[in-house]
Amino acid sequence: MRAQLTHLLDAAARPHITVQILPLAVGMHAAMGGTFYLFRFPAQELPDIIYGENLTSAFYLDKPTDVATYAQTLDRLCAQAAPAVATAKILHDTRKEY
């Protein structure tokens, strides 16, 4: 666990990576159905894509309405999570426990 927390600290220190922590106190949240990733590309002709995983499969979504639903979910999660500027302290404090 300590090595994983150190890895997250290293990642959070990089300028192009944002790490936010969703406290357990939040309880049930919008992404409890499974892991998903939002891919955005610099080329305008390439659509945003959602890649998701669940217990038995994986999926890709590129329909604008589907992508918008997941993007809104990601926005809600970011709003519920601790601010990115607090990430390092949270990770350092947690790592001390290991």
Residue 18 has pLDDT above 90, yes or no: yes
Q: Are residues 93 and 51 in the same domain?
A: no
Of 44 and 65, the structure prediction assigns the larger pLDDT to 65
**pLDDT at 25 (0 to 100):** 87
Q: Are residues 52 and 74 in the same domain?
A: yes
What does pTM read for this prediction? 0.79
Q: Are residues 31 and 76 in the same domain?
A: yes
Mean pLDDT of 23-27: 87
Q: Are residues 32 and 70 in the same domain?
A: yes
User: Which domain, by its residues, includes 41?
Assistant: 22-81
Q: What letter would DSSP give residue 4?
A: H
Q: Are residues 90 and 72 in the same domain?
A: no
Q: Are residues 43 and 62 in the same domain?
A: yes
Q: Are residues 49 and 77 in the same domain?
A: yes
Residue 30 has pLDDT above 90, yes or no: no
Q: Are residues 16 and 62 in the same domain?
A: no
Q: Are residues 66 and 27 in the same domain?
A: yes
Q: Are residues 51 and 69 in the same domain?
A: yes
Mean pLDDT of 22-38: 87
**Average pLDDT over the chain, rounded to an integer:** 93
CA–CA separation, 98 vs 94, rounded Å?
7
Residue 64 has pLDDT above 90, yes or no: yes
What DSSP string runs through 45-97? TSPPEEEEE-SS-EEEE--HHHHHHHHHHHHHHHHHSPPGGGHHHHHHHHHHT
Q: Are residues 15 and 29 in the same domain?
A: no
Q: Are residues 57 and 74 in the same domain?
A: yes
Q: CA separation (Å) from 20 to 36, 42, 58, 94?
A: 15, 23, 24, 14
**pLDDT at 7 (0 to 100):** 96
Residue 89 has pLDDT above 90, yes or no: yes
**Phi (first) and psi of residue 87, to 5 degrees:** -60, -50
CA–CA separation, 32 vs 5, rounded Å?
22
